[in-house]
Amino acid sequence: MIENQVIPKDTGWSRRSLLRSFAALGSLGIFQALLPSYARAIGALTAPTMRASRDTLMDIAIREQSLEIAGGIGKAITLNNSVPGPIVELYEGQEAHLRVTNHLGEESSIHWHGLLLPFEMDGVPGVTFPGIAPGETYEVRFPVRQYGTYWYHSHSGLQEQSGVYGPLVIHPKAPEPFTYERDYVVMLSDWTFEDPHHVAERLKKMSDYYNYRQQTLGDFVADARKNGFVATLKDRLAWSRMRMMPTDIADVTGATYSYLMNGLHPAGNWTGIFQPGERVRLRFINAAAMSYFNVRIPGLAMRVVQADGQNIEPVEIDEFQIGVAETFDVIVEPQADMAYTLMAESMDRTGYTRGTLAPRLGMQAPVPELRELPMRSMVDMGMDMSSMDMGNMSDSMESTAMPAQMDMGSMDHSMHQMDMPMPDMAADQPMDHMMMASAGPVVANHGADHHGRGNNSVAEVQRDRLAEPGTGLENVSHRVLTYAQLRNLVPMRDKRPVSRTFELHLTGNMERYMWSFDGEKFSEVKDRIHFPYGERIRLILVNDTMMEHPIHLHGMFMELENGQGDHLPYKHTISVKPSERLSLLITVDEPGRWAFHCHLLYHMEMGMFRVVEVTP
Amino acid sequence: MNQITQKIIIIFGLLFWVSGVVAQNTAIDPRTGAPLDWGDPMPEMLNFMVLIDRLELGSAADEDTNTYDLQGWYGGDYHRMWIKAEGEGERGEELEDAEVQLLYGRMMAPFWDAQLGLRHEYAADTSRTSLVLGLQGVVPYDFELDTALFVSEDGNASIRAEFEYEWLLTQRLILQPRLELSAAFDDVPDDGVGSGLNSTELGLRLRYEFKREFAPYIGVSHSRTYGGTANFARAAGKETSSTALVLGIRAWF
C-alpha cells in the first residue's frame, strides 16, 4: 500500500500515470492511500490502556497539492499530505512541542482550537503573532493543561476551506469518568472544488447564489392546496415584505459542497470497526467551514459524555445538532453483529455525509433519505408573534411537518420535556401554533438601536432557545440533544458574583453579505474589547439575524447559563440560534489578545470578528 | 551648498527615516492591540460586479431593434463606483438613444444605495451631459428599484424609474416583470419630450439560468408615449405605442 501518497501539483504526466496505478488498486486503495491513518478503518486511536503519557514532538507541513477528494481531483491545502491533517495527540500534564512549516506561497497559520495556552502560541496572524511566512517554521511549545477532544486549523484567509484542519486529542492524566474499548475521531467537514475566494466573491455579488431550494410557483401551488390560497399568499408577502427568504438555512450549500467524514465523501464510507458488546467512543468534531450537521446513528442510542472537550453528566440521545467548530464525544454500545450508519445530514438538508460502524470491513447499513427541507419561521425572525395575525405565517412551517416522522416509533420525548400537550396531528391546523408552543420563551425585547446600515433586521423579540434542539429538528420523534441538557460533571469553580456585563449583538446585512457584531464589521471598529483581568464577567449574546452563528472565544472557556445551577457546562464555541438571547460566564484569567468571532468562515472573513484583550 | 549644510541635511534625513521606521514598527492597531506591521487579520474585501441585464433583439410591427442595458460596480460595502450604460436603436442604424453614467454610490440604509454622478448621452443627434442623483435598492416585497433624477446642462430636469421583480417558476426558470417610467419637468421640443409622464415600457421576460451567471431569455416589451411627448411623436410621424417580441441574454460576472 502506498503510504500517504499524494499527487504533486503541476505534474500532468505523473498525475495521469499515478491515477492509472490508483485505478489498478481499486477504490479502497485510492482512499486509503490519501487519507491520514486515523481515517482508515483499522487506524483508530490507541486503546486507552496502552497509552503512556509523554511529551509530544510533532512536525506539521502545510502544502498545496492536488489530491483525490470527494470523488474527484481537487486542489487542496494539506497537512502532512492529507485532508484532514494528522491527528495531534497530546498528553495532559506534559509538554506540547509542535513545529509547523509553511510550504505555501502565502502566509499561513495554525490555531489550536479550544486549547488553553499562552496567547503567543494561539496562532491568529495579525493578533497573536505575525503569521508563518512562506518557507518558515513556526515552533509552538506549551504545557498541556487540559484533556479532551479538540481540533486545529488555519486562521489565515480561507485556507481552512481548502483543507487546513485536523483533529487534536488530549489524553487525560487521570482516568476519565467513563470507559470504552474503541476510540474513533469522526471529523465532519465540507469540501468544494471551487476556489474558496470565488465562493466569497459570489456570495458578495449574490448572497443567495447557492440556494437552489427557493420557493417557486410549484411550492406556492402545493402550499395553497394544503393551507389555502389566502394563507399562502399572506405568508409569501410577509417574507417578501422583509426582503428575506424562509429557505435561507445555509449560505453555502450542497450545490457546491461535498460533505466529508474523516476526509471521505459518502461513497468512500469511512468505517469504524467494533466487536459486538464493545463500547465505542466517537469523537465528533465539526471542522466544516460553513455547515452545521444533524448527526444520528439509526438503531443506536448515543451517550454524550463530553461537549467541547469538557466532561458533562452523561445524557442519552438519538440525535444531536453540531455547530461549526463544536465537538461532542459520545459512547455507543452496539450489541448486534451488524453494521450501523453514522448519518450526518447538513442542517439545510442539501447533502450529507455518512460512515459506518461495523464488525468487519466492507459492511454497510441502509442510508436514510434526506429529510424534508427545514424552513425559517417568524420566531427566527424575532417577530412578536403575539400581536401578529396568525394567518401570516400559517404555512411557514409546513416543511417541518411531523407526519413523516411519526412512523418512527414512540411519541416524541422532546415534546414531553417541553410540557406541551400533543398536538392533534390529524387536524389540518396551521403548524405555527406548534412552533410557538415549542419555541423558547420571550426573555427580552430589542432596544431602539438597530445597529445602523450594516444590519438589516433585529430580534424585536428575543427568546431563550437553549431547550430547543435546533433548526429542522423541532418535531422529530426521537430524543435530540439540547444545550439545556448539558450539565457540567463538576461544580463551578468560580462562584464569585459577576463584576461586569458585556452585551454583543450578532448582526448582518444579507443583501450585501456583510456580517458583524453590533452592526460594525471588524474593519470599522475603533478598539478591541477589554475584559477585566481576574474578574468574573457575564457575556450576553443576542442574535439579530435569522441564521445560527457559532461564536468562538479563543483562550478561555465560557460557561453557558443554561439553568444547570452551579454545574454550568463549559463551551469554547456556542451556537446562537436566530433571535436568541443567551448569556455566558467567563473567569477572565488568561492574559493576552484573544480572537472572538463567528466560526462560519465566510462570516468571519466578512468582518464578524473582534479581538478581546486581557491585561493583567 | 557647503558640506556642513549637506551633512546636516543627511543626518536629519536619516533621523527622520529611522524615526519613521521605528514608529511604524511600534505602531499598534487599536482593533487588535498588535503591531500594525503584522497585517490586518480580516481586511476589508473589495469586489466588483458587471451585470448585463438586457442584451436583446427586439422585433415589433414597424421596426427591429437592438438594445443593451448593463451596469457595473467596484468597491466595498459602503462606497462603490458605478458605471451604467444603455442604448437602443433600429437594427442596422445608428443608436437612437445611448447613454453612459459614472456614479459614486454610498450605502444609506441596509437595502439602499444613493448615487451621485454624471450621465452623458451621445446618440444620433444628441450629445448632452446631465447631473445624476440616483437611488437604487430593494423595496419591501422584493422589488428592485433603480431610479434617478437628471438635470441636464441646459437646466432641464427629468426622472426615470425602473422596477424589476423576479418570480421563480422553478429554481432556474424565472419570470421577470419590468416597468420603466420616464417623466420630465420641462418641455424640450428639440428632443420631442413633453413635460409630465412621457413614456412607459412594460416588459415580461422569461429566462432560464443555465448558471446563475448566464441566462438567455424571451419576452415581450410594450412601450408607450404620453401627453406632450406623444404629440411630438405623432407630429414626427412616429408610433406612440409599440409591442415587441424580445430575445436576449442576461449575464453577470
pLDDT digits (tens, 9 = 90+) for A248-281: 999 999 999 999 999 999 999 999 999 999 999 9
Q: Which residue of B lies nearest to A601 if distances are taken between CA atoms?
A: B42
Q: Report whether pLDDT(A106) > 90.
A: yes
Integer Cα distance of B198 and B159 in angstroms: 10
Integer Cα distance of A540 and A554 in angstroms: 17
Given a cut of 90, is residue A2 above it in pLDDT? no
Share of chain A above pLDDT 90, in %: 81
- The candidate with the shortest Cα–Cα distance to A145, out of A309, A31, A382, A283, is A309
Report the gap between the CA of B176 and the closest CA in chain A (Å): 13
What pLDDT does residue B138 have? 94
Instruction: Give the best residue of A124, A154, A523 to mutate against chain B (max B CB count within 10 A).
Output: A523
Could you tell me the CA-to-CA distances from A281 to A27, A329, B117 in Å, in that order?
27, 7, 64
Q: Are B229 and B251 in contact (CB under 8 A)?
A: no
Query: How far apart are the two ends of chain B, measured CA to CA in Å?
Result: 59
Contact A511 B138 (CB under 8 A): yes
Q: Given this model, what pLDDT does residue A36 score?
A: 58
Nearest CA in chain B to A607: B42
Q: Residue B11: how many CB atoms within 10 A of its CB?
A: 10
- The better pLDDT of the pair A24, B245 is held by B245
A595 with B41: Cβ contact below 8 A: yes
A117's torsion region: left (phi>0), alpha (psi -120 to 50) or beta? beta
Orientation angle between helical segments A12-25 and A27-34, nearest 10 degrees: 120
φ, ψ for residue A425, nearest 5 deg: -70, -30
pLDDT in tens, A121-141: 999 999 999 999 999 999 999
Percent of chain A with pLDDT over 70: 83
Taking the C-alpha atoms of residue A90 and residue A112, their distance in angstroms, rounded to an integer, is 12
Closest-CA distance of chain A to residue B144, Å = 10
Are residues B38 and A237, on separate chains, in Cβ contact within 8 Å? no
Q: How confident is the model at residue A27 (pLDDT cuts 50, 70, 90)?
A: very low
* Cell numbers representing residue A576 in the block: 446562537
Contact yes or no for B140 and A243 at CB 8 A? yes
> Does B39 contact A205 at a Cβ distance shorter than 8 Å?
no
Task: Tell me the C-alpha distance between A558 and A572, whole Å.
Answer: 6
- Written as one string, the DSSP assignment of A317-370 is ESEEEE-TT-EEEEEE---SSS-EEEEEEETTSS-EEEEEEESSTT---PPPPP
CB contact under 8 A, A593 and B41: no
Q: Burial, A440: exposed, middle or buried (Cβ in 10 Å; 0-12, 13-18, 19+)?
A: buried
For B121-138, give one letter per residue: b (16+ CB within 10 A) or e: bebeeeebebebbbbbbb
Mutate to test the interface with B, among A381, A511, A531 (most CBs of B within 10 A): A511
Tell me the per-residue pLDDT of A293-332, one tens digit each, with 9 for 90 and over.
Answer: 999 999 999 999 999 999 999 999 999 999 999 999 999 9
Please judge whether B171 and A237 are an interchain contact, meaning their C-beta atoms are less than 8 angstroms apart: no
Question: Is B47 an 8 Å CB contact of chain A?
Answer: yes
Using a CB-CB distance cutoff of 8 angstroms, which residues of chain A are in contact with residue B79?
none
How many C-beta atoms surround the C-beta of residue A591 within 10 A? 15
What is the per-residue pLDDT for B32? 97
Contacts of B77 in chain A (CB under 8 A): 454, 509, 512, 514, 521
pLDDT tens-digit readout, B175-220: 999 999 999 999 988 888 889 999 999 999 999 999 999 999 999 9
Residue pairs between chains A and B whose CB atoms are closer than 8 Å: 118
Give the residue with greater pLDDT, A420 vs B81: B81
d(CA B252, CA B250) in angstroms, rounded, equals 7
Mean pLDDT, rounded, for A185-214: 97
- Report d(CA B224, CA B240) in Å as an integer: 6
Pairwise pLDDT comparison (B7 vs A192), residue with the higher score = A192
d(CA A163, CA A83) in angstroms, rounded, equals: 5
CB contact B211 to A (< 8 Å): no
Give CA–CA dist A614/A488, Å, rounded. 26
Q: How far apart are CA B184 and CA B188, in angstroms?
A: 9
Contact B110 A511 (CB under 8 A): yes
Helices A229-242 and A217-227, interaxial angle, to 10°? 130
Q: Determine, for residues B41 and A127 on separate chains, whether the beta-carbon distance falls below 8 Å.
A: yes
- Whole-Å CA distances, B8 to A163, A559, B17, B19, B20: 57, 63, 14, 16, 18
Mind telling me how many Å the CA of A526 is from chain B's nearest CA?
A: 6
Of A217, A509, A512, the CB nearest to B168: A217
Give the C-alpha distances (Å, rounded to integers) separating A132 from A107, A109, A126, A463, B35: 5, 6, 11, 43, 15
Contact A213 B171 (CB under 8 A): yes
**pLDDT category of residue A6 using cuts at 50, 70 and 90:** very low
CA distance A372 to chain B (A): 17
Cell of A368: 436514510
Q: B-chain residues within 8 Å CB-CB of A606?
A: 45
Q: How confident is the model at residue B236 (pLDDT cuts 50, 70, 90)?
A: confident
- CB of B31 within 8 Å of a chain A CB? The answer is yes
Which residue is listed with cell 411550492? Answer: A219
Which helix (DSSP H) or strand (DSSP E) does residue A613 occupy? strand A609-615
Q: What is the mean pLDDT of chain A?
A: 87
Chain B residues in contact with A106 by the CB 8 A cut-off are: none
Measure the CA–CA gap between B115 and B132, rounded to whole angstroms. Answer: 8
Q: pLDDT-based confidence at A408, cuts 50/70/90?
A: very low
Name the residue in chain B with its Cα closest to that of A242.
B140
- At residue A246 the predicted structure's pLDDT band, cuts being 50, 70 and 90, is very high
Residue of A nearest to B107 (CA): A453
Strands (E), A7-79: 56-69, 72-79
Question: Hey, is the C-beta of B208 within 8 angstroms of any chain A C-beta?
Answer: no
Kindly state the cell numbers that stand for A433.
Answer: 401554533
**Beta-carbon separation of B168 and A511 below 8 A:** no
Strand order in the sheet with A302-307: A257-261, A182-192, A280-286, A327-332, A302-307, A310-317
